C-alpha cells in the first residue's frame, strides 16, 4: 500500500512507490540519463535520503515517526530461527480459522505466480481439504504443513515496531463544489518512470521518476507545485472531496472509499506517485513544538488542522510526496475475493481486517503467513494472532516491522492512528521448502 507509516499500491498501496527515487536536481540530457543514474543511484540508496514514501503501494498512516533507515550496507535484513509452536505466545488461543479466508485468497495469487508456485502449490492444494469453520482443523493444518521461524533483524534483535493503517471514508463528488473543493488526481500524462533494470540488471526494481523538459529530464512537480497549479493536471481530476486533511491521509493510507452526493460509494486505490520522498508532517509539528509526540497521531494532526486552517496548506506542502489514484472496481460477485470487504494490497488480493499486515518484502516474503505478537494501541493488552503478509509500504522497512490493517471506517481509523507498539514476528514457512533468502 502507499501508506507511509501506520505504516503505501496495486489497487491500494503498492510496493512500487517504495522503490521509486526522485531524480536529482541536476539536469542532464536524455542520452546520458541511464549512465549517470546508474553511477549515482547506489550512493543515494546508501544514504537513504531520497527514499520515496509509499502505497501498495506507495507510502502506507499516520503514525508520525520518519521512515526507518535501510539496513547497513552488506548486512542481511533478516535471519530466521526455527522454534516450536509452543514458543508462539497465544498461538493455542487464537481463533486461527478467522484468518482462513485471507490465507485462501493469498493462495489464489501465489499459485498463479510462476515464481512462487514451487513454494506454495503443495500447501495450498492441501488447504482445499480443511474444514474452514473449525479452529482445530485450521490450527492442525498449519502445524502439520508449516514450520515457525522467529524473525530477527541484522542486529540479532527480535523486537520491532508495529503500526497500523486502515481504509478511510471521505465525502466527495464527481464535480467541484463549495462543499467538495479538494481534487484527487489520476496519474498525469507527463509523469515519466525510468526502469533502470532494463539497462542495469543489478538495479532490479529500482526506478526514478521525473518529467521531460525539452531534451532534459527534471524532477516531477512537488506537492507544493501541484497545489499551486503549476503541474498540468486540470484534466486529470478523478474525484473531488471535502477535506484537505482527509485527502492527505488518504494518500498515506493508499486506498479508501468516497461517498458521492447520491449515496453511491466509489473505491479508489494507489495508481502512481510523483517520485519525491515522503516527509512526516507529524514530525514537522513535533519539531516546531506545536504538538507533542503523544499528540502527533492521526486525530491530533486532524484537530491541529481544524484549529489552524491558515497554516494547514504550508504544513501539507512540507511533504513533497504526492500520490495519484485510480477507481477500483469491486470484485466479481460470487468470487473468493468478493467475500473479503477490504482494499487490495500489494499481493493483489483484498485485505481482511485485523488479519493482514504490510511488511518489508526483503525480509518477509509477500503472501506468507506470519504470527504477530504485539499489544493493542495505548495499552499492554496482548494482540497475538495469525496474519497474512499481503501488503507493503514505503515506511515499512526492516525485518521485524509490520503495519497492521485495522479495516474500514472511523473506528478502524482511531485504532490505526494510535498504534505504535513493540512487537515480535514469526514467519510460517512450508515444510520441505528452502527458506527465503533475505
Q: 208-232: per-residue pLDDT in tens?
A: 889 999 989 899 999 999 999 999 9
From the list 150, 149, 139, 144, the residue with the least C-alpha distance to 122 is 144
Per-residue confidence (pLDDT) for residue 203, from 0 to 100:
66
Per-residue confidence (pLDDT) for residue 177, from 0 to 100:
96
Q: What mean pLDDT comes out for the span 157-161?
A: 95
Number of other residues whose CB lies within 10 A of the CB of residue 287:
10
Per-residue confidence (pLDDT) for residue 327, from 0 to 100:
95
Pick the CATH number of 13-280+319-430 from 3.30.70.2860, 2.40.40.10, 3.40.190.10, 2.120.10.30: 2.40.40.10
CA dist 97 to 141, 203, 232, 337, Å?
10, 41, 49, 17
In this prediction, residue 279 has a pLDDT band, given cuts at 50, 70 and 90, of very high
Q: What mean pLDDT comes out for the span 322-327?
A: 96
Cell numbers placing 86: 509452543
Q: CA-CA distance, 305 to 62, in Å (whole number)? A: 14
Q: Which residue has the cell 485485523?
A: 354
pTM of this structure: 0.79
Most confident of 8-17, 205-214, 286-295: 286-295
From the list 306, 308, 283, the residue with the least C-alpha distance to 295 is 283
Percent of the chain beyond pLDDT 70? Answer: 82
Cell numbers placing 428: 510460517
Per-residue confidence (pLDDT) for residue 199, from 0 to 100:
72
In this prediction, residue 3 has a pLDDT band, given cuts at 50, 70 and 90, of low
CA angle 157, 158, 161 (to 5 degrees): 100
Q: Residue 42: phi, psi to the nearest 5?
A: -60, -35
Per-residue confidence (pLDDT) for residue 193, from 0 to 100:
87
Q: Residue 344: phi, psi to the nearest 5?
A: -80, 135
Extents of the domains making up the chain: 13-280+319-430
The answer to whether 208 and 23 are in contact (CB under 8 A) is yes
Q: 58-117: per-residue pLDDT in tens?
A: 333 333 333 334 444 334 479 999 999 999 999 999 999 999 999 999 999 999 999 999
**Mean pLDDT taken over the chain:** 84
Per-residue confidence (pLDDT) for residue 204, from 0 to 100:
67
Amino acid at each position: 500500500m502507499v501508506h507511509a507509516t501506520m505504516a503505501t499500491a496495486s489497487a491500494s498501496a503498492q510496493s512500487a512507490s517504495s522503490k521509486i527515487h526522485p531524480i536529482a536536481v541536476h539536469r542532464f540530457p536524455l542520452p546520458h540519463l541511464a549512465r549517470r543514474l546508474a553511477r549515482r543511484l547506489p550512493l543515494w540508496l546508501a544514504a537513504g535520503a531520497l527514499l520515496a514514501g509509499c502505497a501498495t503501494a506507495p507510502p502506507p498512516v499516520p503514525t508520525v515517526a520518519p521512515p526507518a533507515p535501510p539496513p547497513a550496507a552488506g548486512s542481511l535484513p533478516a535471519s530466521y530461527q526455527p522454534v516450536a509452536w509452543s514458543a508462539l505466545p497465544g498461538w493455542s488461543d487464537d481463533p486461527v480459522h478467522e484468518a482462513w479466508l485471507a490465507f485462501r485468497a493469498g493462495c489464489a495469487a501465489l499459485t498463479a505466480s510462476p515464481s512462487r508456485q514451487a513454494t506454495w502449490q503443495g500447501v495450498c492444494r492441501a488447504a482445499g481439504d480443511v474444514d474452514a469453520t473449525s479452529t482445530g482443523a485450521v490450527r492442525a493444518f498449519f502445524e502439520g504443513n508449516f514450520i515457525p521461524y522467529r524473525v530477527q533483524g541484522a542486529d540479532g534483535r527480535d523486537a520491532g515496531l508495529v503500526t497500523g493503517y486502515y481504509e478511510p471514508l471521505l465525502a466527495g463528488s464527481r464535480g467541484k463544489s463549495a462543499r467538495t473543493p479538494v481534487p484527487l488526481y489520476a496519474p498525469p500524462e507527463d509523469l515519466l518512470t525510468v526502469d533502470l533494470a532494463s539497462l542495469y540488471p543489478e538495479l532490479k526494481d529500482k526506478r526514478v521518476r521525473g518529467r521531460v523538459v525539452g531534451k532534459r529530464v527534471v524532477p516531477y512537480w512537488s506537492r507544493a507545485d501541484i497545489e499551486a497549479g503549476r503541474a498540468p493536471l486540470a484534466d486529470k481530476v478523478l474525484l473531488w472531496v471535502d477535506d484537505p486533511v482527509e485527502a492527505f491521509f488518504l494518500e498515506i493510507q493508499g486506498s479508501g472509499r468516497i461517498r458521492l452526493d447520491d449515496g453511491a460509494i466509489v473505491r479508489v486505490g494507489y495508481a502512481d506517485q510523483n517520485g519525491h520522498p515522503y516527509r512526516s508532517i507529524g514530525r514537522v509539528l513535533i519539531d516546531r513544538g506545536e504538538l507533542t509526540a503523544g499528540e502527533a497521531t492521526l486525530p491530533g494532526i486532524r484537530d491541529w488542522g481544524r484549529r489552524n486552517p491558515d497554516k494547514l496548506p504550508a504544513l501539507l506542502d512540507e511533504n513533497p510526496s504526492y500520490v495519484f489514484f485510480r477507481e477500483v472496481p469491486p470484485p466479481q460477485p460470487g468470487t473468493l475475493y468478493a467475500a473479503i470487504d477490504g482494499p487490495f494490497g500489494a499481493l493483489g488480493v483484498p485485505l481482511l481486517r485485523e488479519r493482514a499486515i504490510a511488511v518489508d518484502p526483503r525480509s518477509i516474503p509477500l503472501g506468507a503467513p506470519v504470527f504477530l505478537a504485539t499489544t493493542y494501541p495505548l495499552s499492554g493488552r496482548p494482540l497475538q494472532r495469525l496474519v497474512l503478509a499481503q501488503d507493503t509500504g514505503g515506511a515499512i522497512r526492516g525485518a521485524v516491522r509490520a503495519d497492521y490493517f485495522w479495516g474500514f471506517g472511523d473506528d478502524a481509523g482511531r485504532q490505526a492512528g494510535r498504534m505504535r507498539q513493540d512487537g515480535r514476528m514469526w514467519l510460517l514457512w512450508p515444510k520441505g521448502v528452502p527458506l527465503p533468502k533475505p
